[in-house]
Structure formats: C-alpha cells, structure tokens
Amino acid sequence: MERTLIIIKPDAVQRGLIGEIITRFERRGLRIVGMKFMRIDRALAEKHYAEHKGKSFYESLLDYITSAPVVVMVLEGPNAVQIARNTIGATKPVEAAAGSIRGDFGLETGRNLVHGSDSLASSQREIALFFAAEELISWTRDVDRWILEKVE
C-alpha cells in the first residue's frame, strides 16, 4: 500500500469542485486516510514548493496557493501515487486526457486545480508537512474486496 498527498487547490475550492474531485479518487478505488480544510500559510507553502525556489513562477505559485482555502488529503491504495496522478491528468490541462480532473475542468497550467505527489519519496515528505502520524487513519472498507485482489 502506498500513500500520496493531494491538495485540492484554491481554484477548485472557489469553483465548487471539492466534491467532484474527491468523488473521482474514491470511485477510482483509493481510500481517504486523512483530510483537512485549511488555509496554507506562506511558511508552509515555501516548504512544500522548496524545489521550485528561484524559478520564475515561484512567487506567483506561493501567492496562489496561499490565496484561499484548500483541501489537503492523504489517499491510500496500491500504486496510489501513479493512480492519483493519472486521475489528476497532465500538469498542463491542454495536454491532460479527457476524463482526468485537469482534462475535464482545467484550462491553464497556473490554475490546474489539484496537486498530487510525483513520487513515493515526495509523498512521504509532503504528507509529513501537512499531517501528524496520528491524524492518519488506516482502515478497511467493506467494498475493498471488490476493488483489491488482496485486502491488506
């Protein structure tokens, strides 16, 4: 089982897409093990986007992610990182497949609705920024036997 961090970004929250986005991940078969509605402060945003420091879009990215509330969640499932990224779609909505979140709802890269960890290492670092270990709840759904070949 893998875990991945998802941020439903300010544009998606403002557009009323929280429920639709959560539904996409749940229908895919991923389990929510942690979730918060919050406002990301600048210090947390700087830690989260540290790898982009010095890039031309860094300051506007920080301004954007701190501009309004977000939903932060941890999803769990086999290959959760890649499955979540496929569900989200390509970073540039114009390149995202129809049926993906960005392909269905996004128009511009700077307003691409959702962040998803890009690797298992990133997911572990990012989850630790937003959640304490005791805030994450491992659990089994009754329906898991119909989604997973082997329920863990």
Structure tokens belonging to residue 138? 């491992």
Task: Indicate the SS3 state at residue 132.
Answer: coil
Q: Which one of 88, 115, 127, 130 is the catalytic residue?
A: 115
Residue 56 lies in a domain: yes
Q: What is the DSSP annotation of 75-117? A: EEETTHHHHHHHHH--SSGGGSPTTSHHHHH--BTTB--EEE-
User: How far is the C-alpha of 21 from the C-alpha of 100, rounded, in Å?
Assistant: 10
Residue 66 lies in a domain: yes
Q: Which helix (H) or strand (E) holds 6?
A: strand 2-8
pTM reported for the whole predicted model: 0.94
At 70-95, the pLDDT tens digits run 999 999 999 999 999 999 999 999 99
Q: What is the pLDDT of residue 54?
A: 92
Residue 70 lies in a domain: yes
- CATH number of the domain that 23 lies in? 3.30.70.141
Question: Which phi and psi angles does 8 have, rounded to 5°?
Answer: -85, 110
Structure tokens belonging to residue 14? 């403002």
Residue 152 lies in a domain: no
Q: What is the pLDDT of residue 150?
A: 81
Q: How many domains does the chain fold into?
A: 1
- In residues, how long is the chain? 152
Residue segments in the chain with a per-residue pLDDT below the cut of 50: none
52 in catalytic set:
no
Domain range for 129 is 2-147
Q: What is the pLDDT of residue 71?
A: 98
Q: What is the pLDDT of residue 151?
A: 72
Q: What is the pLDDT of residue 6?
A: 98
CB atoms within 10 A of CB 107: 11
Q: What is the pLDDT of residue 152?
A: 65
Report the b/e string of 54-73 with b at 16+ CB within 10 A.
eeeeeeebbebbbeebbbbb
